[in-house]
C-alpha cells in the first residue's frame, strides 16, 4: 500500500483482525484518485468489539469488508464520494463525520445516511 499502513485497518480491540486485501487496495485507490489525505476511522471489527460499541450485528466491518474514512467537510466529501463511484464502489454510507464503503457482495448496492 502506498498511502496507508497495515495497522490502520486493524480492529481497535487489539485482536489483530484485519480487512481483506481487496479492501486495502480499494482504500489506496480511493486515496490516490481523490487526491486528498484520508484517515481511517474504522476498519476491521471483531464481533466482540463491534458488539461493545452497539454497531449492527450484520456490519460488513465484522467480515473485514468495510472501511470508514474521517470526513467533516463538503469539499472532501464530494471528492471521496465522486472517486468511490468512479472506481466502482457500490455501497457507500454517509455520516456527518465519516464516509463508509464496503465490498460486501452479499448486500444490495446502496448509498445511505446514518
What residue segments make up the domains of the chain, in order of their start?
6-113
* Nearest of 37, 29, 114 to residue 76 by alpha carbon: 37
What's domain 6-113's architecture? 2-Layer Sandwich (3.30)
pLDDT, position 25: 98
Task: Give the pLDDT confidence of 73-88 residue by residue, as tens digits.
Answer: 999 999 999 999 999 9
Mean per-residue pLDDT for 11-34?
A: 98
pLDDT band at 92 (very low <50, low <70, confident <90, very high): very high
Total Cβ atoms within 10 A of residue 49: 19
Mean per-residue pLDDT for 23-48?
A: 98
With beta carbons less than 8 A apart as the criterion, state whether 110 and 35 touch: no
pLDDT band at 47 (very low <50, low <70, confident <90, very high): very high
Cα 71 to its chain centre, rounded Å, is 12
* Nearest of 83, 113, 109 to residue 98 by alpha carbon: 113
With beta carbons less than 8 A apart as the criterion, state whether 67 and 100 touch: yes
pLDDT, position 29: 98
pLDDT, position 74: 97
The Cα 93–Cα 81 span in angstroms is 10
With beta carbons less than 8 A apart as the criterion, state whether 74 and 109 touch: no
Amino acid at each position: 500500500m502506498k498511502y496507508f499502513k497495515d495497522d490502520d485497518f486493524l480492529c481497535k480491540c487489539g485482536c489483530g483482525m484485519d480487512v481483506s486485501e481487496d479492501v486495502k487496495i480499494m482504500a489506496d485507490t480511493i486515496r490516490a484518485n481523490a487526491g486528498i489525505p484520508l484517515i481511517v476511522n474504522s476498519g476491521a471489527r471483531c464481533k466482540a468489539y463491534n458488539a461493545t460499541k452497539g454497531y449492527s450485528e450484520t456490519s460488513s466491518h465484522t467480515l473485514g469488508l468495510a472501511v470508514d474514512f474521517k470526513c467533516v467537510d463538503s469539499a472532501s466529501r464530494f471528492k471521496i464520494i465522486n472517486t468511490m463511484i468512479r472506481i466502482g464502489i457500490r455501497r457507500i454510507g454517509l455520516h456527518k463525520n465519516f464516509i463508509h464503503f464496503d465490498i460486501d457482495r452479499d448486500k444490495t448496492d446502496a448509498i445511505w445516511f446514518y
